[in-house]
Structure 1
Amino acid sequence: MAGGRLPGPASPGADVPVHVGLRTSDMDEAREFCRKLYYGPLRIDPVGDPGRMRFAADVVTIGPITLGEVRYGTDIRITIEALETAYHVLVPLSGAVRSRHRGAVTLADATRAVVYRPTGDIELDWPGSCRLLSVKVDRAALEREVDAALDHRVVSPLPLGATFDLVDGPGRTWAALARLLLHELRCPDALASRPRMAARWRDMVVSGLALTVEHPYGEEPAGLQGPHRPRTVKRALDAMHTEPWRPWTIHDLAALTGVGVRVLQESFRQHVGQPPLTYLRRLRLDGAHAELTRADPGQASVTEVAYRWGFTHLGRFAGAYRARFGVSPSETLRDRA
């Protein structure tokens, strides 16, 4: 163990970083370390040779974020119940990791990071050759940041994309920033270890993630046309979020906002990145997906969930769902059994 005692739950206002590290070949010790630093309901099972176990972790907590570089040295499988209180990003620094979350299978490697929402259990196949940058962000902190960046009330949990690019664009910059912050905070005499500077870097990691992850509030959140959307766009978005199941037409939304159809469509193109009804369909799909990942297969049906989210044509719903999540609605529900 290095860097002091394991910290308790992070306080969102805390500016003093706490660094802890562990090198061990004892699986029980590694489990206890990860449960205290990340999540209590976490199960770690060796899949490869336990004798090759060489767990190594350096983790820093500061306010609403926890950053760490972690490897196991042998193949393992991790299962985690719904995160509930946090969003989580895994960035492979070497090797690749395969995970199943919310009915979708994702492979993360040096080119793509994987993103986990607070809902839905996670199953992670982690090879011994893989070393990860693991970033946990307090749920409320990220949601506040997205809300502030877009000047728009957001749903919770955020309907985030499952991955983002690490080769080009904001994802590459964000991953480099998070890794640099971890490196600096591990050095007690570094500039970033001073509370005032650490707080600023911490906020940059949270705000940077808000502008990096994919979400339906805009295809390119970092390129929004200014911090404030027109009142007409905000009224239409609020209406769709309040009643996503309602059979909105483009004419209904235009009448609600007091502008013509063409004006509303152009405003959405500029300030949201997609047409109003495309946004509405994606909002409904994400809502149905979130409900199916939580539902009890013995108590719910795909038909009920689809109708509840405004889908009246089950065949079209199933096709759009598979195109977005890579699996059918029934597979998502069945995986909850």
Structure 2
Amino acid sequence: MASGPVTPGADTPVHVALRTTDVDEARAFCRRLYYGPMRIEPVGDPARLEFSADVVLLGPITIGEVGYGTDIRLTIGELETSYHVLLPLTGMLRSRHRGAVVYADPTRAAVYRPSGDIELDWPGTCRLISVKVERGALERELDAGLDQRVISPMPLGASFDLVDGPGRTWAALVRLLLSELRGPDALASRPRMAARWRDMVVSGLALSVEHPYGQEPAGLQGPYRPRTVKRALDVMHAEPWRPYTITDLATVAGVGVRVLQESFRQHVGMPPLTYLRRLRLDGVHAELSRADPGRASVSEVAYRWGFTHLGRFAGAYRERFGVSPSHTLRHRG
């Protein structure tokens, strides 16, 4: 176990790990490795806190797998020095940043710019990979491929897809690097190899996250989903409980209903309303998994996520998760 971060720009990775049931120890660890002005408060049962983190520091990037074991609320002021990405491995995370609400899960990452406060509702069922990239490193990567200087901080999109396209590949690269660097005598831990991995993580993020420069240089263009699809996905993730119709979503996307449906089938793999229903079901499942059975009810949670017909909701829930909603509530955690 290392005692602290490496010097920025160094090519020698450093592995730092902690497992504790002491919230103060967990706070100190996260503040030292990530950001000083960070507040971490348990909102679930403090006795169930089982913080675990495996973190690798490699020059301008910090990658860690983190979980708390109980529900927490994390707040932080402006990041200032870094861009940040959260990649849930399990569960769903609710994030608010610069007025945008994002529900991140294993299909969708949350992205943070260096400006604007952040608030996270992080359930105990959610384990994630946290990726911190120094501000200058990502901006230099984009600037190198452009004929114009980028605006700092860059106006990045609030989330990106992890199911297909460049986001899926980048997330797999990050997971593999973390796995390699946590093990002994890994090839990736040698400075020359580590430097190449580091550069791939930074350049891959530049290709995965949405930014206003994506259409400028051919070298930075990736297989992005059409903006029409992204607009519809963004509003669904921002407020999944709203009673959207297919016409509503087509209007947001700026295309006709048939065009939107065909675009979703081609680029998402399912119709828009099917995707919305899955998003809502996953939200209900995440909330029931951490709720107190004595205080919460299935109907209240279902209504909160936009389900108005409880019979159809229960059938869809069982089809997706293999158990009833009430079973999830009774056997939470």
TM-score of the superposition, structure 2-length normalised?
0.65
> CA, structure 1 residues 99+193, in 2 after alignment: closer, same or farther (shift >3 Å)?
same
Aligned-residue offset at 1:148: 1.1
Question: Which amino acid counterpart does residue 8 of structure 2 have in structure 1?
Answer: P
Mapped contact 1:151–1:227 kept (Cα < 8 A): no
| 1:4 alignment partner in structure 2 | 2
2-structure distance, mates of 1:171, 1:226: 17
Residue from 225, 229, 248 that aligns with 2:218: 225
SS in 1 for 2:167: helix
1-structure distance, mates of 2:74, 2:168: 26
1:90 aligns to 2:71 (yes or no): no
1:195 aligns to 2:188 (yes or no): no
| 2:153 alignment partner in structure 1 | 157
1-structure distance, mates of 2:135, 2:122: 25
2-structure distance, mates of 1:47, 1:136: 25
- Give % identity: 74
1:60 aligns to 2:56 (yes or no): yes
Mapped contact 1:160–1:214 kept (Cα < 8 A): yes
SS in 2 for 1:36: helix
In the TM superposition, 1:222-301 aligns within 5 A as: 224-226=217-219
2-structure distance, mates of 1:218, 1:16: 31
Mapped contact 1:54–1:73 kept (Cα < 8 A): yes
SS in 2 for 1:150: coil
For structure 1, the 5+ residue unaligned runs are 229-272, 275-322, 325-337
> CA, structure 1 residues 54+195, in 2 after alignment: closer, same or farther (shift >3 Å)?
same
2-structure distance, mates of 1:142, 1:75: 32
In the TM superposition, 1:1-337 aligns within 5 A as: 3-7=1-5, 10-219=6-215, 224-226=217-219
Mapped contact 1:95–1:109 kept (Cα < 8 A): yes
1-structure distance, mates of 2:219, 2:135: 25
Question: Which amino acid counterpart does residue 80 of structure 1 have in structure 2?
Answer: I
SS in 1 for 2:3: coil
After TM superposition, the structure 1 stretch with the greater mean CA deviation from structure 2, 20-29 or 180-189, is 180-189
SS in 2 for 1:67: strand
Question: Which amino acid counterpart does residue 46 of structure 2 have in structure 1?
Answer: P
| 1:331 alignment partner in structure 2 | none
SS in 1 for 2:218: coil
1-structure distance, mates of 2:212, 2:179: 33
SS in 1 for 2:208: coil
Question: Which amino acid counterpart does residue 61 of structure 1 have in structure 2?
Answer: L
| 1:304 alignment partner in structure 2 | none
2-structure distance, mates of 1:205, 1:226: 16
> CA, structure 1 residues 211+4, in 2 after alignment: closer, same or farther (shift >3 Å)?
same
SS in 2 for 1:200: helix
1-structure distance, mates of 2:179, 2:220: 32
2-structure distance, mates of 1:13, 1:34: 21
2-structure distance, mates of 1:167, 1:98: 19
TM-score of the superposition, structure 1-length normalised?
0.64
Question: Which amino acid counterpart does residue 21 of structure 1 have in structure 2?
Answer: A
2-structure distance, mates of 1:177, 1:29: 30
Question: Which amino acid counterpart does residue 51 of structure 1 have in structure 2?
Answer: A
Aligned-residue offset at 1:150: 2.8
| C-alpha distance after superposition, 1:99-139 (max 9, x if no partner) | 11001111100110000000001000000000010000000
Mapped contact 2:214–2:220 kept (Cα < 8 A): no
Larger radius of gyration: 1
SS in 1 for 2:172: helix
Question: Which amino acid counterpart does residue 198 of structure 1 have in structure 2?
Answer: A
| C-alpha distance after superposition, 1:202-256 (max 9, x if no partner) | 110000001111011135x7xx43579xxxxxxxxxxxxxxxxxxxxxxxxxxxx
2-structure distance, mates of 1:87, 1:178: 15
1-structure distance, mates of 2:207, 2:219: 13
State how many pairs are aligned: 225
2-structure distance, mates of 1:192, 1:22: 22
